[in-house]
Structure 1
Amino acid sequence: MTTPTPEERAGEAFAESAAEAVQTAVMAARLVMAIADAARRHQQRKQKGKEDDPPTAEEAVNEVGKDVQRLLPSDISTALMEEADWPQLAQQLLALRKAGVDLDQVLPRVGEIAVNVRDQVAAKASETTDQWVRTVRETLPAGPVREAILTSPAWPEMAATMARLEEKGVNVREVLATAHNEVLAVDQAVAKKLGAAAEPAMSRDAQLSYGPLTTGLDLPRDYDLSDREQTLTKLAIDPQENQRYIRWVREAMPGHEREADLLVASRQWPLLASRMAQMETEGKPVREHLARLAKDTSWQEGPDAQLGTRLVQSASEALRRPAGDGPGESRVKVNTAAARATSPSVDPTKAAKAAAPAEAGVAPHRQPAPAPTRGKSK
């Protein structure tokens, strides 16, 4: 028997998760049908002293099968009709119709309940995966190992394995941290064999963004802001997190929908999202910081063509400024290290190293973020 590949195992994990959501929805639908049938029986006993004889299973399947397929979502109707007790469920439905119940009214409502349950289960599974994205981001430094994990086709299976290990009492963060150097050595050995540079060169975007926008963030050296999806992946920000940060920005700027859209569409948005992700890890009130954008609207002052740039600068300052500062107490200040980094007469990578205040040879935006204060992911 052939051993499944990581991609095949990941696909199986995804399929199992989707199937579980549908099966749970079917359970909810069956519950509602059973309750409705119990109400029918009760009313007939109350009014007539006895229940009506149920229709035959064959008659019920033939008569209501098409209605179920027509009135319920296809995945739920298919799963429902594949159940071993489908004939009995069909009998209940036909008995309800004969008792005066309009299935064209009832079944769509049953479907709504089932879809709601299905989506809740699927969302819960998605939250579990999101949890492990955050764990990987908080435990491993930016670089090839973290990127390889989160871009792997086998990532869903990896996340499921981490969840199972945690359930057994294993400290998954410790496993990831311990394995990092060994996996990095593998990456570098393969890169060397292929003739690639083990350490990526500092990209143009990394050079130009160096300064207040990136100070204190754990960033790779080679991100490309023109490829938003890839950059978000490098920064270990999954689509659900990104959408949440976008929503927070829009909620923080009521009446400024155009400007909010302009901010989230900006080229530098992934760096702002990375800042928000780090703040969440540190337990800081991201939304309170974003609310400053509506209180201090100095970003409106200036040429309209530069509005996007001003919004990015204001958002960056709002997120970095300590909580409690008034809206006008802190404005964007010149970062001398950044000024040297972007000077045409100075090599940005050398300037970054020379300007590092805490650790020789490490630019401020490459210093690791403070260790997360929370314990195991829940």
Structure 2
Amino acid sequence: MSMPTPEERAGEAFTEAAAEAVQTSTMAFRLMMAIADAVRRQQQQKEAGREEELPPVEKAVPEATEYAKKYLPPDIGTALMDGADWPMLAQQLMALGGAGVDLEALMPRVAEITVTVRDAVAEHARKALEDEGAGRWEAMLREAVPAGPVREAILSSPAWPDIATKMASLDEKGVDVRGVLAAAHKEGLGVEQAVASSLGAAAPSTSRDALLAYGPLTTGLDVPKNLTLKDRARALVQLGVRDADARNVRMVREAMPGRERDADLMVSDRHWPLISLRMAEMESRGEPVAEHLARLMQDTSWEKGTGTLGTRLVRAAADALTRPVGDAAGASRPVVSSAAAKATSPSVGPTKGVSVTKGGPRPAEPGVAAHRDSGPAPSKGRTR
């Protein structure tokens, strides 16, 4: 017997999720009937001093079945009537009618509530299943494809879930998905350049945000040339930390107990996405991010200085995250040459790059971003 394909497994999972949504909606119906019956009983006891008995099952079931078929969607109605407690529910429903409740007005409202519950549960399950399936492939995509327009286009595309499904199918058949992604990235760059050329667009230039961020904040990071820090949501997508950012924010707040307001100022700073990216990359390498962040409370020199408190904290966090655990404050603060900064850009394409060394800029290995290395500042010239 052959194993089910990823598409078949996904179909089975969605079918199970839909069934669960219907069952949840029947629970909502039961809840409403129980509440309505309790109110009926209390009101009859209050007004007449006694509760009316429930109508006979043999009379209530056929009548309630007609109401269920008339007002409830087939899936919800069938699930209810197949349940072992349907006779009791039928009695409760018809007892409400006997007590003066207009069932022709009540049932449409009850039906609307059950449908809302069903659809909400189904949508939640659908998103959870898609996230679970796509999460693995998104991680692989980020590892196999350098940050830049191609990766951004894939992840932001409405077709991304379908792309992830195709990746899963290829993997199931023994295909090297990473190799395919690497090849697709090269082709994607060609498509991007061809389209830009046909539209008369200029070659991508380094954005002002990327240029201004160059230095200690970006050392060792793969920063896209078109980085747009003024748009927080876009920056997080460009840097590939949209999903990890909430966790990173929480980690910073936890690392600064009693100073959460200060932590919030750092997180609201426009350069925060770069700190979030560094934290995410450190976690992916298994580095103790929390231990690094603890330095923010051990050395509070960021409380004074130039710039806003949020900006000072961003700089302090970058320093705390880049120094090895155990190093004293300031022992290995990265220093960047302004001459080197002018000679290089914050990010490069996947096949070329520049590393900064003591002797000035030199060609780097293929696939290495401009910020991968930094060395001591030259003896002349100012530093950033």
Alignment TM-score, normalising by the size of structure 2: 0.65
Unaligned runs of 5+ in 2: 1-9, 31-55, 94-112, 347-352, 374-384
One-letter identity of the residue aligned with 1:158: I
Question: How much does 1:79 deviate?
Answer: 8.4
Question: How much does 1:348 deviate?
Answer: 5.5
Map 1:1-378 to 2 at 5 A.
Answer: 21-27=17-23, 57-61=61-65, 81=76, 84-89=78-83, 91=86, 94=89, 119=124, 122-198=127-203, 200-238=204-242, 240-302=243-305, 306-322=308-324, 324-325=325-326, 328-330=328-330, 333=333, 335-337=335-337, 339-340=338-339, 346=342, 349=345, 353=354, 355-356=356-357, 360-362=362-364, 365-366=369-370
Relative distance call for 1:264 and 1:93 in structure 2 (3 A) is farther
Relative distance call for 1:137 and 1:334 in structure 2 (3 A) is closer
> In 1, distance between residues paired with 2:292 and 2:215?
20
One-letter identity of the residue aligned with 1:24: E
SS at structure 2 position matched to 1:360 = strand
Relative distance call for 1:55 and 1:121 in structure 2 (3 A) is farther
| Comparing 173-182 and 158-167, the one that deviates more | 158-167
Question: How much does 1:97 deviate?
Answer: 5.1
One-letter identity of the residue aligned with 2:147: A
Unaligned runs of 5+ in 1: 1-13, 35-51, 70-76, 99-107, 370-378
Q: Would the aligned equivalents of 1:64 and 1:94 in 2 still touch at CA under 8 Å? A: no
Q: Would the aligned equivalents of 1:132 and 1:159 in 2 still touch at CA under 8 Å? A: yes
Residues 99-155 of structure 1: CA deviation (Å, up to 9, x unaligned): xxxxxxxxx9xx99x988975774353243333222211111122211221121211
> In 2, distance between residues paired with 1:300 and 1:203?
31
Q: Would the aligned equivalents of 1:58 and 1:87 in 2 still touch at CA under 8 Å? A: no
SS at structure 2 position matched to 1:213 = coil
- Number of the residue aligned with 2:35: none
One-letter identity of the residue aligned with 1:184: L
One-letter identity of the residue aligned with 1:209: A
Relative distance call for 1:178 and 1:366 in structure 2 (3 A) is same
> In 2, distance between residues paired with 1:121 and 1:87?
26
One-letter identity of the residue aligned with 2:160: W
Question: How much does 1:291 deviate?
Answer: 2.9
One-letter identity of the residue aligned with 1:306: T
Relative distance call for 1:334 and 1:251 in structure 2 (3 A) is closer
Q: Would the aligned equivalents of 1:276 and 1:319 in 2 still touch at CA under 8 Å? A: yes
- Number of the residue aligned with 2:46: none
Q: Would the aligned equivalents of 1:203 and 1:221 in 2 still touch at CA under 8 Å? A: yes
SS at structure 1 position matched to 2:82 = helix
Question: How much does 1:266 deviate?
Answer: 0.8
One-letter identity of the residue aligned with 1:88: D
Question: How much does 1:225 deviate?
Answer: 0.8
| Comparing 166-175 and 247-256, the one that deviates more | 166-175
SS at structure 1 position matched to 2:164 = helix
Question: How much does 1:258 deviate?
Answer: 0.8
Q: Would the aligned equivalents of 1:60 and 1:91 in 2 still touch at CA under 8 Å? A: no
Question: How much does 1:261 deviate?
Answer: 0.9
Larger radius of gyration: 2
